[in-house]
């Protein structure tokens, strides 16, 4: 059923803490109704009450473990059938930071289930509606580790590499429409993910840590500016342009059909 809110409803996954909580606050302030997704019901209830009383918007909580297939399907079906949805922010994510040989298979799979599978299936859930209505915004939260790997981030970086390439592909798919697909690649941001992942924020270079508010505001400024990929903490735009240029040149340079001379030994 169509609501009276002209801005529509924004879905924010991982809204119980960190970046998702700030995205939810910023969108409520703009006047969007919200659907908030996470496992910790009490955190969602508290946030929903705050946002409803402060901004007068309608907030619905979808308590779900996005790593559990039945929960994920329930959320996907809910948002697929909701014609009010104008924004999906695929923000929920998890990390275990340790060498892969010292990370349980369960933890490795959890990263793939939450960071990859849920992001993909929830994108699938909203995009047909966006295409039919020729409007909508999908924001996928990647990471600078989508293009870089530390010895403790093989699996996490792998999942974010998926987010980067998948989101780039979706951007190509919706080219020429009114639909916006934004990739956001934060660097270190002061959230629970570090403690949960096994690396306390206190162990990091304090000068390299961004606040959640700065990160989200930069992401939303990038969206408003029409950016396809936003790197909140990268000051030098030339670095971003050079990376983009190199990735296109490398692909183009691979379309030769012949082994490179350095591999012709005889």
Tokens of 53: 């009383």
CA angle 38, 26, 135 (to 5 degrees): 85
Tokens of 216: 């989200």
Task: Pick between residue 91 and residue 103 the one whose CB is nearest to ligand NAP.
Answer: 91
- Selecting among 32, 156, 166, 263, the annotated active-site residue is 156
Site for ligand NAP in 215-254 (CB under 6 A): none
76 binds ligand NAP (CB under 6 A): no
How near is the Cβ of 70 to ligand NAP at its closest, in Å?
A: 12
Place of tokens 């990091």: 204
Q: Which one of the spans 25-33, 48-56, 90-98, 235-243 is the region binding ligand NAP (CB under 6 A)?
A: 90-98
93 binds ligand NAP (CB under 6 A): yes
Active site residue 156: yes
Buried b (16+ CB within 10 A) or exposed e, 20-57: bbbbbbbbbeeebbbbbbbbeeebbeebbeebeeebeb
Task: Pick between residue 20 and residue 129 the one whose CB is nearest to ligand NAP.
Answer: 20
x/- contact string, 11-30, with ligand NAP (CB under 6 A)?
A: ---xxxxxxx----------
How near is the Cβ of 119 to ligand NAP at its closest, in Å?
A: 8
For the chain, the first-to-last Cα distance in angstroms comes to 70
Helix (H), strand (E) counts: the chain? 9, 7
Q: Is 189 exposed, middle or buried (0-12, 13-18, 19+ CB in 10 A)?
A: buried
Binding ligand NAP (rule: CB under 6 A), the pick from 33, 47, 61, 67 is 67
CB neighbours of residue 200 within 10 Å: 9
How near is the Cβ of 133 to ligand NAP at its closest, in Å?
A: 27
126 binds ligand NAP (CB under 6 A): no
96 binds ligand NAP (CB under 6 A): no
x/- contact string, 131-160, with ligand NAP (CB under 6 A)?
A: ----------x-x-----------------
Distance, in Å, from the CA atom of 186 to the CA atom of 46, rounded to the nearest integer, reads 26
Binding ligand NAP (rule: CB under 6 A), the pick from 29, 30, 31, 40 is 40
Task: Pick between residue 131 and residue 223 the one whose CB is nearest to ligand NAP.
Answer: 223
How near is the Cβ of 64 to ligand NAP at its closest, in Å?
A: 6
Tokens of 76: 């996907």
- Indicate the SS3 state at residue 98: coil
List residues with catalytic annotation: 156
């Amino acid at each position: 059923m169509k609501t009276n809110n002209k801005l529509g409803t924004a879905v924010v996954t991982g809204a119980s803490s960190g970046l998702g909580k700030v995205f939810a606050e910023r969108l409520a302030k703009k006047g969007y109704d919200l659907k908030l997704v996470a496992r910790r019901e009490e955190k969602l209830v508290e946030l929903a009450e705050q946002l409803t009383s402060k901004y007068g918007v309608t907030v619905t909580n979808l308590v779900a473990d996005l790593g559990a297939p039945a929960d994920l399907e329930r959320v996907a079906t809910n948002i697929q059938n909701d014609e009010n949805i104008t924004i999906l922010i695929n923000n929920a994510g998890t990390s275990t930071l340790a060498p892969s040989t010292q990370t349980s298979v369960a933890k490795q799979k959890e990263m793939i289930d939450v960071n990859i599978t849920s992001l993909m299936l929830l994108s699938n859930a909203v995009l047909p509606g966006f295409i039919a209505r020729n409007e909508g915004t999908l924001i996928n939260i990647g990471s600078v580790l989508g293009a870089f790997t530390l010895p403790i981030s093989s699996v996490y970086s792998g999942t974010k590499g998926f987010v980067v390439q998948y989101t780039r592909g979706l951007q190509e798919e919706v080219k020429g429409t009114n639909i916006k697909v934004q990739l956001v690649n934060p660097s270190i941001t002061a959230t629970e993910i570090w403690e949960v992942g096994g690396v306390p924020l206190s162990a990091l270079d304090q000068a390299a840590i961004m606040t959640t508010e700065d990160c989200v505001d930069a992401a939303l400024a990038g969206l408003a500016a029409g950016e396809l990929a936003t790197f909140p903490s990268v000051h030098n735009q030339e670095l971003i342009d050079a990376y983009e240029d190199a990735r296109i040149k490398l692909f183009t340079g691979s379309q030769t059909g012949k082994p490179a001379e350095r591999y012709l030994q005889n």
